[in-house]
């Protein structure tokens, strides 16, 4: 394991700190959204600050929930379902 690998090993142990840093950055970005905004909204709603934040979060949550909890149980089969392997 080379130096870079060792670096990542160390970073892994600090993951909580990195996670908190991530949350701080997100909050900062939302704050910036109040200052910097678009002049030509694409969807009408996106002129409101925090739109894309909410959009990203909600769509992401819904997508994963729907796909993993509803759709995949319907269409998942065992790996060798077609007898190919």
Partner 1 sequence: MATSSFIHPALGFLALALILPVLPGRQWKWLLLLPPVIAIWSIFTVEPGVYGMVPYLGQQMIWGRVDKLSIVFAQVFAIMSLIGMFYALHVEDKAQHIAASLYVAGGFGCVFAGDYLTVFLFWELMSIGSTFLVFLNRTRESVLAGFRYFLYHTIGGLFLLGGMLLRYKATGTFAFEHILPTGAAYYDWLILIGFCVNAAVVPLHAWLPDAYPRGTVTGSVFMCAFTTKTAVYVLARGFAGWEVLAVAGTIMAVYGVLYACIENNARRILSYHIVSQVGYMVAGIGIGTAMTLNGAVAHAYAHILYKGLLFMGTGCLLYAAGTAKLDKLGGLVARLPWVMILYMVAALSISGMPLFNGFISKTMTIAGAAEAHRTILALGLEIAAVGTFISVGIKLPYFAFWGRKPTNWEMKLKPIPWNMYAGMALAAGLCIAQGLYPEMLYRYLPYHVEHAYVPWTAWHVLQSLLLLGFSGLAFYFMREIITPHAKLNLDLDYFYRLIGRGVLRLVCRPVAWIDDRWTEAYRVAGLRGLLLLAAGAVWFDKKGIDTVVDGSAYTVRNIGRAGAKVQNGNLQDYLALAAVLALCVFGLVWYFG
Residues that bind partner 1 (CB under 8 A): 1-2, 4-9, 12, 19, 22, 25-26, 29-30, 32-33, 36-38, 40, 42-44, 46, 52-61, 63-65, 67-69, 71-72, 75-82, 84-85
* 47 and 37 Cβ atoms separated by less than 8 Å: yes
Radius of gyration of the chain (CA): 21
Q: How far is the CB of 54 from partner 1 (least distance, A)?
A: 7
Q: 6 vs 17, which CB is nearer to partner 1?
A: 6
CA neighbor of 56 nearest in space, from 74, 30, 84 = 30
């Amino acid at each position: 394991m080379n130096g870079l690998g060792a670096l990542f090993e160390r970073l892994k142990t600090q993951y909580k700190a990195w996670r908190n840093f991530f949350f701080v950055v997100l909050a900062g970005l939302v704050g910036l959204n109040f200052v910097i905004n678009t002049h030509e909204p694409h969807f009408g709603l996106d002129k409101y600050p925090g739109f894309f934040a909410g959009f990203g979060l909600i769509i992401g949550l819904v997508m994963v929930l729907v796909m993993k909890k509803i759709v995949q149980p319907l269409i998942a089969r065992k790996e060798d379902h077609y007898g190919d392997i």
